[in-house]
Amino acid sequence: MSYHRYITDALVLGSEPSGEASRRVVLFTRSCGLVSAHAQGLRSCRSRLRLHLATLTLSRVSLVRGREMWRLVGALTYADREEVYRAMSSGASAVIARLAAILRRLVSQDAPDETLFERVAETVRFVAREDLRDDELSLVEIIGVSRILFLLGYLDALRPGAESARQSGWNRAALPALASARSTLVGAINEALTASHL
């Protein structure tokens, strides 16, 4: 019996040991949604996959859906992204980690949402490439979370001051203008997370 192979971009949200040499990798993918996939032999020193599946990186993965679980059969980190992730500040890594935690908490398994994936990916790329100050990182995190919540239906972006939740793309020069909406967005985010009961 042959299985369909899904080749898609993915954000690696985390992983945990599974058996002696394998790992269960949690991925937020463009075409399959949130997926927990078994990666055979990933913990082995000879594994070619492990270099491309570092937590909080964007990679191109190859998945096969079995009867009981997803299997990760290939991965590739784009050459230009490898250098970016190595040079990323700890503050930038922390922002991406908190966005990943929100995704794991709120996104349903196997429910693809290409628009949500693209908003998250562009936020990760922006945070990873730009050398942002702490106040800028904080603002990007707030706006990034508000965009996730808006696309998942938890946040009302028509609320005054929350318009940035509907927008896409990032521009460092526009961040100071968005700073005035910080407290409104934080209030809206807190209300949305409370209302989600998750």
Q: Does position 24 have pLDDT exceeding 80, yes or no?
A: yes
Assess contact for 54 and 25: CB atoms under 8 A.
Answer: no
Question: What's residue 32's pLDDT?
Answer: 93
pLDDT category, 113, cuts 50, 70, 90? very high
pLDDT category, 21, cuts 50, 70, 90? confident
Question: What's residue 75's pLDDT?
Answer: 85
Domains in the chain, start-ordered, CATH in brackets?
Answer: 5-80 (2.40.50.140), 89-196 (no CATH)
Residue 27: what residue type?
A: L
The reported pTM is: 0.87
3-state secondary structure the chain: CCCCEEEEEEEEEEEEEECCCEEEEEEEECCCEEEEEEECCCCCCCCCCHHHCCCCCEEEEEEEECCCCEEEEEEECCHHHHHHHHCCCHHHHHHHHHHHHHHHHHCCECCCCHHHHHHHHHHHHHHHHCCCCHHHHHHHHHHHHHHHHHHCCCCCCCCCCCHHHCCCCCCHHHHHHHHHHHHHHHHHHHHHHHHHCC
Mean pLDDT (the chain) is 85
What number is the average pLDDT over the span 170-197?
A: 88
Distance (Å, whole) CA 114 – CA 22: 29
Top mean pLDDT of 2-6, 85-89, 153-157, 173-177 is at: 173-177
